[in-house]
């Protein structure tokens, strides 16, 4: 995982590349666990029900949820690797997506509310999410699956920078 900040102007006004931070591996583990927890029992239930009600040949349809697990496992890894964020001098960049890349730029001065949330599954695995609310609802952004300490640090930093940037408006 890369960490740090960048984006300041270098010599002759050239901008440096932002330093990206990836999401913790725990998020990938949680997503894969949820995939298995939902689809493996479904496969067993479909196999048993179809085997009893329609015959053993129909029980082969239970392989479909297992095929989705096998297909989804690497896709979840690719999606997890696509998520990253970078703190720059005036804004926060959030990049995500495998087929359709999406990069969100959230100016600090436009932030109105920064929330740290953690549902029961996230809490169980020591994760939290940061939700950014801006003046324009279309630019609201979310960073899922951060370590709670990082989520709180990011919330405090973004709130501080947001207050400093909006004071000049």
Each residue of 79-100: pLDDT tens digit?
999 999 999 989 999 999 999 9
User: Which runs of E-coded beta strand occur in the chain?
Assistant: 21-22, 84-87, 91-96, 102-107, 111-117, 128-134, 141-146
CB 121 within 8 A of CB 30: yes
SS3 of residue 91 by DSSP: strand
Residue 154: how many other CB atoms lie within 10 Å: 21
Per-residue pLDDT tens over the stretch 95-134: 999 999 999 998 988 888 999 999 999 999 999 999 998 8
| Global pTM value | 0.81
Q: Of 124, 160, 122, 125, give the one whose Cα is nearest residue 142.
A: 122
Angle between helices 25-53 and 63-82 (to 10 degrees): 170
């Amino acid at each position: 995982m890369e960490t740090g900040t960048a984006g300041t102007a270098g010599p002759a006004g050239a901008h440096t590349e932002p330093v990206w931070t990836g999401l913790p591996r725990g998020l990938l583990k949680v997503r894969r666990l949820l995939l298995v927890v939902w689809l493996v029992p479904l496969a067993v239930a479909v196999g048993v029900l179809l085997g009893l009600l329609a015959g053993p040949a129909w029980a082969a349809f239970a392989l479909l949820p297992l095929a989705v697990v096998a297909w989804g496992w690497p896709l979840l890894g690719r999606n997890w690797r696509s998520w990253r964020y970078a703190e720059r001098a005036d804004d926060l960049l959030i990049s995500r997506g495998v087929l359709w890349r999406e990069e969100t730029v959230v100016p600090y001065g436009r932030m109105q509310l920064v929330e740290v949330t953690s549902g029961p599954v996230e809490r169980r695995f020591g994760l939290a999410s940061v939700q950014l609310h801006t003046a324009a609802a279309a630019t609201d952004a979310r960073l899922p699956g951060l370590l709670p300490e990082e989520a709180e640090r990011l919330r405090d930093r973004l709130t501080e920078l947001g207050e400093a940037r909006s004071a000049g408006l």
